[in-house]
């Protein structure tokens, strides 16, 4: 594999994450999906520990089930559907990051983490709400790891030849609080052949709550296409089984 120009790869693979979070040049559909996700995110957050009268809860469930009917799919879907066509037509690749479970503004599961990219440092800013609670008042360790995967996954793009997460080591130093603005830092440290080494930390003010080391392995970009095609085949198989 020849060494790509790092700056070009940054532009092609990293900055879409940052651009995806800007509010510029959004189609009406993307704007509406972001509004829906924001409303959904707030609803899920407010539902935790709700004070709604127990006698009203069934009525609320009825309303939600009726709303859910409007979004029902006839089959499982991938947020990457149509990606190849959009890319070939010069479409905006950043639209796909709208659906990321960590940074996606159109994904209600995403906290979301806001990504900034400096010369050498990736900074993620996030406030985890009650839905991410593990220990009382603190972020579940699995979500701490997921946040590192996203931020270190962005930092590895500084290598110029990004890939997939092969290994993620997390040291939980002190409980990571909910409802507090946190800073997640990620750095690319070195590259050895296809192996890309990164490290990061989570800060609550001056307190380091967690540290991580991530190993990424450069992959051929066609691997993403193979993954998408494998998904399509699986779904087609499931549909044939249902028929």
Ligand X SMILES: CCCCCCCCCC(=O)SCCNC(=O)CCNC(=O)[C@H](O)C(C)(C)COP(=O)(O)OP(=O)(O)OC[C@H]1O[C@@H](n2cnc3c(N)ncnc32)[C@H](O)[C@@H]1OP(=O)(O)O
Neighbouring C-beta atoms of residue 33, cutoff 10 Å = 19
Decide: is 169 part of the binding site for ligand X (CB under 6 A). no
Helix ranges restricted to H, 107-214: 141-155
Decide: is 200 part of the binding site for ligand X (CB under 6 A). no
Give the residue from 168, 180, 162, 177 showing the smallest Cα distance to 214. 168
Paired with 212 in beta bridges are: 170, 200
Give the residue from 99, 93, 216 showing the smallest Cα distance to 158. 216
Task: Return the residue of 29, 35, 77, 167 that touches ligand X, per CB under 6 A.
Answer: 167
215 by DSSP, 3-state: which? strand
Nearer to ligand X, 155 or 202 (CB): 155
Nearer to ligand X, 149 or 185 (CB): 149
Burial per residue of 38-63, b for 16 or more beta-carbon CB atoms within 10 angstroms, e otherwise: eeebeeeeeeeeeeeeeeeeeeeeee
Nearer to ligand X, 172 or 224 (CB): 224
Decide: is 92 part of the binding site for ligand X (CB under 6 A). no
Decide: is 195 part of the binding site for ligand X (CB under 6 A). yes
DSSP element (H, E) containing 42: helix 28-47
Decide: is 19 part of the binding site for ligand X (CB under 6 A). no
Nearer to ligand X, 224 or 231 (CB): 224
Residue recorded with tokens 């991938």: 78
Cis-peptide, bond into residue 112, ω within 30° of zero:
yes
Task: Return the residue of 166, 174, 179, 181 that touches ligand X, per CB under 6 A.
Answer: 166
Binding window for ligand X (CB under 6 A); candidates: 26-34, 107-115, 204-212, 213-221: 213-221
Task: Return the residue of 194, 203, 204, 231 that touches ligand X, per CB under 6 A.
Answer: 194
Binding window for ligand X (CB under 6 A); candidates: 34-42, 59-67, 163-171, 232-240: 163-171
Q: Nearest residue to ligand X, using CB?
A: 166
State the residues that interact with ligand X by CB under 6 A: 149, 153, 164-167, 193-195, 215, 217, 219, 224
């Amino acid at each position: 594999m020849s060494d790509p120009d790092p700056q070009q790869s940054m532009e092609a693979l990293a900055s879409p994450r940052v651009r995806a979070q800007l509010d510029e040049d959004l189609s009406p559909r993307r704007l509406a999906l972001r509004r829906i996700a924001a409303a959904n995110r707030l609803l899920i957050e407010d539902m935790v520990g709700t004070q709604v009268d127990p006698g009203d809860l069934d009525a609320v469930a009825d309303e939600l089930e009726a709303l859910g009917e409007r979004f029902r799919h006839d089959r499982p879907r991938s947020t990457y559907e149509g990606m190849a066509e959009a890319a070939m037509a010069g479409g905006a690749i950043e639209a796909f990051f709208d659906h990321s479970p960590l940074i996606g503004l159109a994904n209600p599961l995403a906290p979301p983490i806001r990504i900034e990219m400096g010369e050498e440092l990736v900074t993620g800013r996030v406030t985890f709400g009650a839905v991410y609670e593990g220990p009382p008042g603190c972020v579940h360790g699995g979500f701490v790891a997921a946040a590192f995967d996203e931020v270190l996954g962005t930092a590895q793009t500084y290598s110029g030849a990004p890939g997939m997460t092969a290994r993620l080591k997390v040291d939980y130093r002190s409980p990571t609080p909910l409802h507090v603005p946190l800073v997640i830092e990620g750095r690319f440290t070195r590259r050895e052949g296809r192996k890309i080494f990164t490290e990061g930390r989570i800060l609550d003010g001056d307190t380091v709550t967690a540290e991580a080391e991530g190993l990424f392995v450069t992959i051929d970009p066609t691997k993403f296409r193979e993954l998408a095609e494998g998904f399509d085949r699986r779904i087609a198989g499931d549909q044939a089984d249902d028929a």
